[in-house]
């Protein structure tokens, strides 16, 4: 039995409380953006990794001179990937959740740093992660040359309709990153919502392209939103 003195316990308990606070900072940023893994998830990951780190450092051995506190930490590094994978979803042609998975991965390491008592690194890591999540998205938008728009087409339902619209867009180097189709069985009308992307500084959809789409057989009208 490994009995820990009250002084050491209180010190370790404060480390766990700090890990909850640091993990919550990261989780709050994800929470306000409506991500699947929010404040509670990140706080649990951080305090859990901190607790396991404390236990691995103080709770095992040494027996016969053997001690390997990094073994449990190594297992956490491998295991956190399974939790992160649960936040990654495929939505049409797009992949969502990669950033949240990365934030869980980073939060685990913040907990490890806290559990080892390397508080400066834990706090610095938390600040950097929050800055990356909250601010670098703005930088991405500034430096990105990828333009996007949403096109909604209303048309008579028929086989090959979406393919014909996609052909018009493809001839103009416009990619469809996401598509959603709603069909009204009673009227035979279909609404197709397309999220479009083009790697270009030029205007995404010109009047000429819109004219070509309107000439596709069955198209009644369209709406374009930048």
CB of 210 within 8 A of CB of 221? Answer: no
Which residues of the chain does CATH 3.30.70.260 include?
Answer: 146-225
Q: Which fold has domain 146-225?
A: Alpha-Beta Plaits (3.30.70)
Distance of CA 96 to the CA centre of its chain: 6
Return per-residue pLDDT of the chain as tens, 226 residues: 566 678 888 999 999 999 999 999 999 988 887 777 789 999 999 999 999 999 888 877 555 555 677 777 778 877 787 777 777 665 554 566 788 888 999 999 999 999 999 999 999 999 999 999 888 877 766 665 556 778 889 999 888 888 889 888 888 878 887 788 888 878 888 998 888 876 555 556 677 788 888 889 989 988 887 6
pLDDT at 93: 47
């Amino acid at each position: 039995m490994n009995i820990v003195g009250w002084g050491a316990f209180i010190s370790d308990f404060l480390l766990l409380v700090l890990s909850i606070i640091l993990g919550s900072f990261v989780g709050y940023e994800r929470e306000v953006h409506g991500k699947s893994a929010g404040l509670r998830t990140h706080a649990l990951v951080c305090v859990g990794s901190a607790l396991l780190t404390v236990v691995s450092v103080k709770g095992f051995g040494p027996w016969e001179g053997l001690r390997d506190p990094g073994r449990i930490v190594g297992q956490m590094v491998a295991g956190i990937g399974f939790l992160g994978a649960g936040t990654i979803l495929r939505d049409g042609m797009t992949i969502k959740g990669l950033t949240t998975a990365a934030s869980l991965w980073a939060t685990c390491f913040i907990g490890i740093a806290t559990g080892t008592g390397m508080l400066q690194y834990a706090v610095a890591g938390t600040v950097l992660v929050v800055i990356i999540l909250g601010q670098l998205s703005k930088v991405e938008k500034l430096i990105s040359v990828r333009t996007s728009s949403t096109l909604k087409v209303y048309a008579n339902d028929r086989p090959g309709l979406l393919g014909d619209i996609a052909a018009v867009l493809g001839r103009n180097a416009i990619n469809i990153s996401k598509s959603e189709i709603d069909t009204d069985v009673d009227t035979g009308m279909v609404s197709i919502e397309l999220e479009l992307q083009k790697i270009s500084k030029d205007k995404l959809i010109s009047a000429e392209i819109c004219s070509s789409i309107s000439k596709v057989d069955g198209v009644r009208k369209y709406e374009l939103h930048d």
